[in-house]
Amino acid sequence: MENANGTQFALAWLAVAFMIHPLLGTVGVERVQMGLESNSCPNCHNLADVIPEGHTRDDVETVESCLNCHSTESSPVALGWIVHWKHYASDAFPGDCGSCHGSEEGWRIELVGTDGGEEAEVARDMVERMRSFIKSWARSSYLDRVHGQQRTDCLDCHSSYFPDGPASMGVCMDCHGSYPSLAELTSDAEPNPHASHVGEIDCGHCHKMHEESVLVCDQCHNHNLEVPESSP
């Protein structure tokens, strides 16, 4: 009797295992796709081999060691710029956001390889949408690439890597100056685009970051002016 009960118990657990196994397999695939099975940078690189010439190589073994200097708060070259620019500016990069960022249930995305770093709860389609902006920032012929070449990171203009909309006009002027100072810089242009009869319109009306810029004046006029873009 006891043997029969034991056999039934074992068969019951075997059945449960067969039912659970496909679910575990699915979760495992998802985790690999989003990078959770990786060790972040050291999974693909020996960090001491990829840092630039002249950079100290002492104790550069983990992502945490990079963040000691290249944090958003303390370094002129934040880790976000270094990693995003180097990877997305290359045609050879085979990965995606999940190669460096892990996502758990609820889509809390973080930098794999760090302990207690910042996390953000985002939807998967938002992650994919932002990837297109980052690729444009690193490889396009638009103004976003001009900013990237100057080591400007997303967080220099936006409050988050997953912003709700474009950067404000105030952010532009923090770096580029006020309308009067801009008008002085473009005083040789005829007409002067920063001293027009429509006043101080939002910078983003003409100067597009992630798409081709436009001259709003030409909606009514036909001026021979060029809005600056990135070099090809």
What are the residue boundaries of the structural domains of the chain, listed by start?
34-163, 171-219
CB–CB of 201/216 below 8 Å?
yes
CB–CB of 169/202 below 8 Å?
yes
CA distance 63 to 65: 5
Query: What is the reported pLDDT for 114?
Result: 60
Could you identify the residue written with the tokens 């967080």? Answer: 155
pLDDT at 1 over 70: no
CATH tag, 171-219: 1.10.1130.10
The two structure tokens encoding residue 193: 């685009």
CB–CB of 193/225 below 8 Å?
yes
DSSP per position, 95-123:
--GGGTEEE-TT-EEEETT-SS---EE--
- Closest to 134 (Cα-Cα) out of 78, 175, 83: 83
Q: pTM here?
A: 0.71
CB–CB of 41/63 below 8 Å?
yes
What is the SS3 assignment for 202? coil
pLDDT at 123 over 80: no
Instruction: Give the pLDDT band of residue 182 (cuts 50, 70, 90).
Output: very high
**155 exposed, middle or buried (CB, 10 Å; 0-12, 13-18, 19+)?**
middle
CA distance 25 to 209: 41
CB–CB of 89/101 below 8 Å?
no
CB–CB of 217/223 below 8 Å?
yes
CA distance 108 to 121: 4
Helical spans, DSSP H, in the chain: 2-33, 47-50, 63-67, 79-88, 124-139, 143-149, 154-157, 169-176, 179-185
pLDDT tens digit sequence for 46-95: 777 788 888 877 777 777 778 778 876 666 688 888 888 989 998 888 88
Could you identify the residue written with the tokens 């002492």? Answer: 58
CB–CB of 57/140 below 8 Å?
no
pLDDT at 217 over 60: yes
Range among 28-42, 69-83, 121-135, 218-232 with highest mean pLDDT value: 121-135
Query: What is the reported pLDDT for 167?
Result: 94
